[in-house]
Amino acid sequence: MIEKKIAEKASEAVEKLYDVKLAVESFQIEKTNIEFEGDYTLVVFPLLQYSKKSLAETAVEIGNFLQEHLKEIESFEVVKGFLNLTFNDKFWIVFFAANIKNDHYGFNTKINKTPFVVEYSSPNTNKPLHLGHIRNNLLGYSISEILKANGKNVIKINLINDRGIHICKSMLAWIQWGDGETPESSGLKGDHLIGKYYIMFDKKHKQEIKDLVHRGYTEDDAYNQAPLMLEAQKMLQKWENADEEILAIWRLMNSWVYEGFNKTYERLGVNFDKINYESKTYLQGKKIVEEGLEKGLLFQKEDSSVWVDLSGEGLDEKLLLRSDGTSVYITQDIGTAQRRWDEYHPEELLYVVGNEQIYHFDVLRKVLKKLGSDWADRIYHLSYGMVELPHGRMKSREGTVVDADDLMDEMYVTARKTTEELGKTEDFTREELDRLYTIVSLGALKYFILKVDPKKNMLFNPEESIDFNGNTGPFIQYTYARIQSVFRKAGNKPEEFLKKLNLNKIELLGIEKNIIKLIYEFPQVVKQAGENYSPALVANYCFELVKEYNHYYQDTPILKRVDPEVANFRVALSWFAGKVIKKAVGLLGIEVPERM
């Protein structure tokens, strides 16, 4: 990239002018602020200690050196402590010619052999996927695609939380009040049916708590001593003791949920290389804990519960096994992490999990290290913010969640209505319209969620997301379709224009240079998005590119009233921009239509 070349020459300049050798990495180079003339800016402030001269004089001396020794620099301007460098048209045209036919442009094609494990989704089998899960899935899938584009050997894993007290709650409610109801008899997707009984348990449990509190119990005691909760705890013990009757019900109900999950994943457009189940990993966690106890690394209390003392690591004592011998979440996560290390020896174990679990993963790393697993430092928790609604946070137990399937249905209806209002779908078949509405609705949903920095909480507004103007998925999709319309109007495929492309006499318009500059930045954006685990960098880059191209399309004749060689170039520029747009949104899991 040119930034490195500028830094290298700046280092030569400082050595030549001020007799000081500075590392290339010490120079600050950034894109020139849009308010000023220039392409790249060198920050001069830190160099004053070496020049012993004024800010303006130092900047001019370095600017003159760079212009003399970098043929790409056409001019420079000093604005306070910033040296703004402008590159000549030849630099941008040479870049354009060298990369327009590169099918892999922007991506690293050298794949690292060491696996890079990404875990995302990780739903519980007691409820359907909801809006919070959608953010998790979209982040996990997009980050995986971005890491692949950076040459990582990504393995996408879904850990299904198919055991524990929450699963027993749904099972118990179904046994007591289900009367043999099935997805077939109810007409509900399996995950929706199970979620219905999870909510039912919560309502009945709350009533029992209320009754006990009325009889003098404290809230905490009432919660734990309520008959339903005691029965659910007994069921968990039976499950862990392999009671065949309980296991049979568990297998049946989970099979309904898995089928429901798979339909939602397919519709959302996410997938996994491997699916793990907590029911098959928690025993390994228990074994590791028991071995740690034997080695004296852990301790047991009088009630037989097993704990770890992390006070030396700035935390406190943590429960690893309950007094009845059943596991807690951290126990099964210990087993899962160990299994993944044994299987892959990965470069990193990346967990995409909400920010309410920051403490949990801090504990997990510290427990593993205390048990002798030095590789625990390779665990990275990508914590993301919650998705909130205008009326507040969602609560699964109370049934106040935005269901993933219902949301996608709503987005489809809104996409259809908005598209039809534009009145440009008369020549589409019914199948083509269905496909278009699906692409637009999912593009709107994915872009709206992924354009927000993962670490930030976000407010989801479906109506704002489906807008054909502004920073939205449909606006980007519409721009891509607009680019494809250029080729249809021209009556030739882009490849035919590339064959006739002659760049020798092309004089770039300012906006053409801006588009090429944005295309030039694409590889760096992909790299930074991978380093920061942030699809938002790709999303907002894409918006900048389509915004610039739309201005170009509206204000600049591409095919008519221009010289044939200019027309060839403008079609080629459109094609290159379209190719980068498609690649960029592809990293977000978004499809683009050929026409809209």
Average pLDDT over every residue of 231-259 = 95
C-alpha distance from residue 578 to each of 451, 470, 512 (Å)? 19, 18, 14
Check if the beta carbon of residue 317 is closer than 8 Å to that of residue 308.
yes
Average pLDDT over every residue of 451-464 = 87
Check if the beta carbon of residue 198 is closer than 8 Å to that of residue 396.
yes
The neighbouring-strand residues paired with 158 are 275
Q: What is the pLDDT of residue 461?
A: 76
> What gap in Å lies between CA 437 and CA 417, rounded to an integer?
9
Q: What pLDDT, in 10s, does the model give residues 103-130? A: 999 999 999 999 999 999 999 999 999 9
In the predicted model, is pLDDT for residue 541 greater than 90? yes
Res. 396 pLDDT band, cuts 50 70 90? very low
In the chain, the domains with their CATH numbers are: 2-87 (3.30.1360.70), 163-277 (no CATH), 404-586 (1.10.730.10)
Q: What pLDDT, in 10s, does the model give residues 146-159? A: 999 999 999 999 99
Lowest mean pLDDT among 170-174, 420-424, 452-456, 533-537: 420-424
Closest CA to 120 of 143, 104, 101: 143
* pLDDT over 90 percentage in the chain: 80
Q: What is the pLDDT of residue 435?
A: 95
SS3 readout for 32-50: CCCCCCCCEEEECHHHHHH
Average pLDDT over every residue of 232-258 = 95
Closest CA to 142 of 565, 451, 493: 451
C-alpha distance from residue 275 to each of 15, 44, 386 (Å)? 56, 52, 24
Q: What pLDDT, in 10s, does the model give residues 299-326? A: 999 999 999 999 998 999 999 999 988 8
Q: What is the pLDDT of residue 88?
A: 94
Q: What is the pLDDT of residue 230?
A: 96
Average pLDDT over every residue of 290-297 = 95
* pLDDT over 70 percentage in the chain: 98
Q: Provide the token pair at 286.
A: 């228990």
Closest CA to 3 of 45, 42, 46, 53: 42
Lowest mean pLDDT among 24-33, 148-157, 266-275: 24-33
Q: What is the pLDDT of residue 394?
A: 43
In the predicted model, is pLDDT for residue 398 greater than 50? no
Q: What is the CA radius of gyration of the chain?
A: 29
Lowest mean pLDDT among 7-11, 211-215, 360-364, 491-495: 491-495
Closest CA to 128 of 202, 190, 39: 190
> What gap in Å lies between CA 173 and CA 165, rounded to an integer?
12
Q: What is the pLDDT of residue 496?
A: 72
Q: What is the pLDDT of residue 283?
A: 87
Alpha carbon 291 to its chain's center: 37
Res. 34 pLDDT band, cuts 50 70 90? confident
- Which burial class, exposed, middle or buried, applies to 410 when counting CB atoms under 10 A from its CB (0-12, 13-18, 19+)? middle
Q: What is the side-by-side order of every strand in the sheet holding 306-309? A: 299-300, 306-309, 317-321
Q: What is the pLDDT of residue 564?
A: 85
The DSSP letter of residue 385 is P
Report which residue type is found at 223: Y
In the predicted model, is pLDDT for residue 399 greater than 60? no
Whole-number average pLDDT of the chain? 92
Question: Which string of b and e fits 151-189 if b means at least 16 CB within 10 Å?
Answer: bbbbbbbbbbbbbbebbbbbbbbbeeebeeeebeeeebb
In the predicted model, is pLDDT for residue 362 greater than 60? yes
Closest CA to 201 of 396, 394, 397, 395: 397
